[in-house]
Amino acid sequence: MCYHSRSMTAAGRIEELRAEALSAVASADTTGELESARVKYLGRSAELTEIKKSIRDLAPEDRKTVGAASNRATKEIEDALAGRLDRLSAAEREERLRSEALDVTLPGTPYPRGSLHPSLRIIDEVVDFFVGLGYRVAEGPEVETDYYNFTALNIPPGHPARTMQDTFFLDEGLVLRTHTSPVQIRTMLSQEPPVYVVCPGRTYRRDSDPTHTPMFNQIEGLAVDEGLSLSHLKGTLAAMARQVFGEGVKVRLRPSYFQFTEPSVELDVSCFNCGGADPNCKVCRGAGWLEMLGAGMVDPAVLEEVGYDSERYTGFAFGMGPDRMAMARYGIPDLRLFFEGDLRFLRQF
Ligand code: PHE
User: Range of 34's domain?
Assistant: 7-99
Residue 312 CA to ligand 1 center (angstroms) comes to: 23
CATH of the domain at 316: 3.30.930.10
Closest residue (by CA) to atom 2 of ligand 1?
Answer: 319
The pick from 195, 215, 260 for probing ligand 1's pocket by mutation, whose C-beta has the most ligand atoms within 8 angstroms, reads 260
Closest residue (by CA) to atom 9 of ligand 1?
Answer: 318
Which DSSP letter does residue 169 get? B
Residue 7 is predicted with a pLDDT of 55
Residues 228 and 339 in one domain: yes
Q: Quick check: CB of 261 below 6 Å from ligand 1?
A: yes
Closest residue (by CA) to atom 5 of ligand 1?
Answer: 319
Of 287, 285, 256, nearest to 270 by C-alpha is: 287
The pick from 258, 259, 293 for probing ligand 1's pocket by mutation, whose C-beta has the most ligand atoms within 8 angstroms, reads 258
**Contact of 258 with 264, CB cutoff 8 Å:** yes
Residues 242 and 283 in one domain: yes
Residue 78 is predicted with a pLDDT of 95
Q: Is residue 2, in this structure, part of any structural domain at all?
A: no
Q: Is residue 265, in this structure, part of any structural domain at all?
A: yes
Below-70 pLDDT ranges, the chain: 1-8, 164
Residue 174 CA to ligand 1 center (angstroms) comes to: 20
Task: State the DSSP string of 101-123.
Answer: ---TTS-----------HHHHHH
Q: Is residue 111, in this structure, part of any structural domain at all?
A: no
Task: State the DSSP string of 203-260.
Answer: EE-S--BTTB-SEEEEEEEEEEETT--HHHHHHHHHHHHHHHH-TT--EEEEEEEETT
Q: Quick check: CB of 318 below 6 Å from ligand 1?
A: yes
Residue 3 is predicted with a pLDDT of 44
Residue 349 is predicted with a pLDDT of 84
Residue 5 is predicted with a pLDDT of 52
Residues 166 and 272 in one domain: yes
Residue 237 CA to ligand 1 center (angstroms) comes to: 14
Q: Is residue 107, in this structure, part of any structural domain at all?
A: no
Residues 94 and 213 in one domain: no
Residues 182 and 147 in one domain: yes
Last residue of a domain, one of 55, 70, 99: 99
Q: Is residue 109, in this structure, part of any structural domain at all?
A: no
Residues 64 and 169 in one domain: no
Residue 140 is predicted with a pLDDT of 97
Q: Quick check: CB of 179 below 6 Å from ligand 1?
A: yes
Q: Is residue 326, in this structure, part of any structural domain at all?
A: yes
Residues 122 and 95 in one domain: no
Residues 18 and 91 in one domain: yes
Residue 1 is predicted with a pLDDT of 37
Last residue of a domain, one of 99, 134, 161: 99
Last residue of a domain, one of 34, 69, 99: 99
Of 225, 317, 310, 201, nearest to 265 by C-alpha is: 317
Give CA separation, 259 vs 159, 215, 296, 299, in Å. 10, 22, 10, 8
Q: What is the pLDDT of residues 287-315, one digit of tens each?
A: 899 888 999 999 999 999 999 999 999 99
Backbone angles phi, psi at 318, to 5 degrees: -150, 155
Closest residue (by CA) to atom 10 of ligand 1?
Answer: 295
Of 80, 315, 76, 50, nearest to 181 by C-alpha is: 315
Q: Is residue 113, in this structure, part of any structural domain at all?
A: no
The pick from 126, 165, 179 for probing ligand 1's pocket by mutation, whose C-beta has the most ligand atoms within 8 angstroms, reads 179
Q: Quick check: CB of 295 below 6 Å from ligand 1?
A: yes
Residues 6+ apart with CB under 8 A from 14: 48, 51, 66, 69, 70, 73
Q: Quick check: CB of 319 below 6 Å from ligand 1?
A: yes
Ligand 1 nearest-atom number relative to CA 319: 7
**Contact of 183 with 201, CB cutoff 8 Å:** yes
Residue 256 is predicted with a pLDDT of 96
Residue 261 CA to ligand 1 center (angstroms) comes to: 9
